[in-house]
Structure 1
Amino acid sequence: MEYIKGRGAQHNTHNRFLQHEHEVLDDFLNYCASENENADANKTIYIETHPKTILNKTNSPEMGLFYSMNPYQGCEHGCIYCYARNTHEYWGYSAGLDFERKILYKKNAAELLEKKLRSRNWQPELLMFSGNTDCYQPIEKKLEITREMLKVLLKLKHPVSMITKNALILRDLDILKEMAAMNLVRVNISITSLSEKTRSTLEPRTATIKKRLKTVETLAKNGIPVYVMMAPIIPSINNHEILPLAKTVSELGASDMNYTIVRLNGAIGEIFTKWVEKTYPDRANKILNQIKSCHNGTLNDSRYGTRMKGEGKIAEQVAMQFRLAKRKYFQEAKKQPPINYHLFDKNQTNQMSLF
């Protein structure tokens, strides 16, 4: 089958919650070829949803308690390794191409957020944009849902953490600067590689490496605490870039850098395997076997404590390189004060309260 340009996944996997499977037969493909028609239009479809809440409580033994906010489900960035792909099956879609081409958006997210933060029992907790899918994926440029949510957070002086691969975050520099002045925001920029070729194959519709590096620099120069996530590290693809990437982002003003080892949970194992066989046919087996060596012989390890960093010789080498990178490039980095939870005022309005 021809490589689908501009997409990470190269097929739709079976949704484990559905009884029936959808299969494209060779007869249909042959007919399309003979008629000079496209068997697949490869277009992105946007679908509005109407949720009743925008906050998702997460209590991870590895990350602690936080609430994730995801104005979008599915992600057009198309990162082949994305753990969030599996969540698309709960909506009745595939974790493969559907995840990148059927984007669900929550237009009322800002209203839901303000309602929750003003509720009687709410106490300020860590909120995280993009705990699942990127809040600055391409459609955000038009819909501005994330920006409206940031306006709510600024108005109520509620702290937030963000992670994104998209330079579009600089559009909201005005809001972020105000929040940073009150120590209410932390930004993480995900950078997997310094190679544009690697970026375009792993993450086809994300911002270029040049734009992401510029984003780190711009945020830092504007006093916004910015961190870099090298996530994930994939053996034989980007594990050799740890030190060069650390040096680069440190010089641009990043406060710190962290990482995760790739793990291919659920349907992602099949999606990644077919992708790597198309993209890196000369070393596909090597890549897959080295990933397995980090997870006790499998493509995925769901055990808390080991799933993020892996185990075995390759995982140990990665950990050693990161320790060296931090000691070499971040030892004198500016340490950020703890995020401020004391300014939050759920009753804040533009008028003085009479009671």
Structure 2
Amino acid sequence: MTVEVQKKFGSYFDDWSESCSRLQHLLHCVIIVAMVGVVEFVAFSTETTWDDVEPHRFSWTIFAYFLRFLSLLNLPMCVMSLLGLTMYDAFPGPVRLRADPDSLPFVVVRIVTRGDFPDLVCQNSLTNLRVCKETGLRHYSIEVVTKKSVQLPKMVHLREIVVPDSYEPSSGSMYKARQLQYCLEDGINELGDEDWILHLDEDSVLTPDAVKGMMNFIHDGEAHFGTGLVVTTRGPVANWMTTLADLMKTGDDMGRTRFLLKTCRKSWFGWKGSFFLANAKAERIVSFDNGPAGSIAEDSYFAMKGIQEGFRFGFIEGEVLEQSPCTLGDFLRQRKRWIQGYSLIVSCPKVITAHTSSCIAYHTRDNHDLLEIRE
């Protein structure tokens, strides 16, 4: 009798929670539309006409309008962000597991670090190990790839890989790309073609929803690469200024990234290297051995190569917790590194060719439909 009562009230609670989620999303959409309407009303009500331009300032007016029209370059991303934030639930409930954990292939949670903060790496590795176990994941391991040993405890499901200084990839990849490529080399790689790799940063902490979303993603077998929502506000906050600035990344994940991955199955506007799930065979085909041009923003370069190879991308339900940079200086250096990496990518002829061709004919470029993800 008690079990029946729990099931009855549990179903009522689920229905109530779903109704609240829909109401929150509706209010969210109304606020977005209202804000856009107010901005457009103010912009058009203060519009300058050509009759108001003084003749001797005509050239300066042309230059000013040119600068103004440059903002339209960001219009495609803004439209995709708007669609992603309104078409899909912005307040989803807990992820429901659809997959049978016993039937899923092996999953490696791969954490790449320089080894400068061993205590943090060990603590987060043990936390992620506990979350995977409590969520019901059966076949998995936590793998720490580091330049110097972090003294990871010797436990079942834990593995530490120290990249030797003598290792040099064939194309000269550096930094994080070098460490990731080392894990794919013969003799180091222990994964089969049907296994999966979940990439995390050293400060990343899994949640039960993220693990369930990952298992559902693998079970569905609709894409070779996936990513999800990264949140920086649910853990300890070291710097409110950088944390608030990083909300742009969270909004980007909820909007543009989710829209592109759910509708187009491509990642045309970049990719992130944390909470990044990859089929092991597909990752070996794309590889991280992409030379200096693919070593700073190695995640985005990897995505562009994946598009060129015809692989499909998808969105993972759930969220991973991370921390924003502790100081404003670290935040600016991080952004500087991203800009440098993106500059190298957009100036690379191989990436330009792949990106252009895939944008024109992405419906016909799923060349790896025959690559079996799941039987």
Higher gyration radius (CA)? 2
Fold shared by both chains (TM-score > 0.5): no
TM-score by length of 1: 0.26
Higher share of residues assigned helix: 2
TM-score by length of 2: 0.25
